[in-house]
Amino acid sequence: MSPQTTAIGIDIGGTGIKGAVIDLATGDLLSERIKLPTPVGGKPDDIVDTTKEIVTTLAASDPKAPVGLCFPAIVKGGMTMSAANISKKWIGLHAEELFEKALGRDIHFVNDADAAGYAESRFGAARGNTGLVVMTTLGTGIGTALIYNGVLVPNAELGHIEIDGVDYESKASYSAKERDGLTWERWARRLQKYYSHLEFLLSPDLFIVGGGVSKSHEEFLPLLTLKTPILPAVHRNNAGIIGAAALAVNADR
């Protein structure tokens, strides 16, 4: 049997649900990216229905294409153990089964930061990198992913590390910069404390910085002083789609 060359990736977020067909050799999008608004309230049935609409459209040309789906929650054994910017009704839900029943197919179900990190490991800033890669996404909070020698270590919630007595994503996320009206220089001082702490705990070989603010990486990454190389993410808003698709055929990695 010839190896699978394409897969469908779906990225569910608090404001939008997006998907595309992905080339598994290159990480390129082979279709237009479809994006629909996340239903108001983010309730399970509503999100499942919107996801089904996107998958049905993307699968029209290849009904048997594998599907990977990433989600803003801790995912363990197919269950969503948390819920970020969506309904709390997801907490403790057998979400993977819910999606599989609605879609009528098996899927691979993964945390959104993990999918983004895997995309950067396979096709982006960490491609070919050995050792420990720590992916961080700076946005409403701080999402993180750990990849060791190309293997994903799931559900790392390192944005919630306590520093100076507080959950430090409340100080170092991009939303904290906006909330507190910080200049790039003042925000970088907070980031310095965060990344230095991760560096001390994990001794990583590479940091990758994603999230929408990564497009302005020239404003803040040069202000950081670390022993570990730190690079902006390559795939940004498409990373979740690409990583979810890749994991659909590499679920053991």
pLDDT at 3 over 80: no
Q: What confidence tens digit (pLDDT) does each residue in 119-171 have?
A: 999 999 999 989 999 999 998 889 999 999 999 999 999 999 999 999 999 99
- In sign, the C-alpha dihedral spanning 88, 93, 96, 97 is negative
Confidence of residue 1 (pLDDT cuts 50, 70, 90): very low
**Per-domain residue ranges of the chain:** 6-114+238-248, 127-233
131 close to 148: Cβ distance less than 8 angstroms:
yes
pLDDT at 2: 58
Please work out, in degrees rounded to the nearest 5, the angle formed at the alpha carbon of residue 234 by the alpha carbons of 138 and 14: 45
Confidence of residue 251 (pLDDT cuts 50, 70, 90): low
CA dihedral 251, 42, 40, 213 (to 10 degrees): -50
Q: Which CATH class is domain 6-114+238-248?
A: alpha beta
pLDDT at 252 over 80: no
Q: What confidence tens digit (pLDDT) does each residue in 58-108 have?
A: 999 888 899 999 999 999 999 999 988 899 999 999 999 999 999 999 999
Q: What confidence tens digit (pLDDT) does each residue in 193-247 have?
A: 999 999 999 999 999 999 889 999 999 999 999 999 999 999 988 999 999 999 9
How many whole angstroms separate alpha carbon 151 and alpha carbon 184?
33
Fold of 127-233: Nucleotidyltransferase; domain 5 (3.30.420)
Say whether 127-233 and 6-114+238-248 share the same fold: yes
Give every CB contact of residue 32 below 8 A, 6+ residues apart in sequence.
20
Q: What confidence tens digit (pLDDT) does each residue in 35-53 have?
A: 999 999 999 999 999 999 9
Element (H or E) spanning 37, and its range? strand 34-37
Task: Quote helix, strand, coil % in the chain, to nearest 5.
Answer: 40, 25, 40
For the chain, what's the residue count? 253
Distances (CA, A) of 228 to 10, 26, 83, 253: 32, 27, 31, 24
How many whole angstroms separate alpha carbon 156 and alpha carbon 241?
19
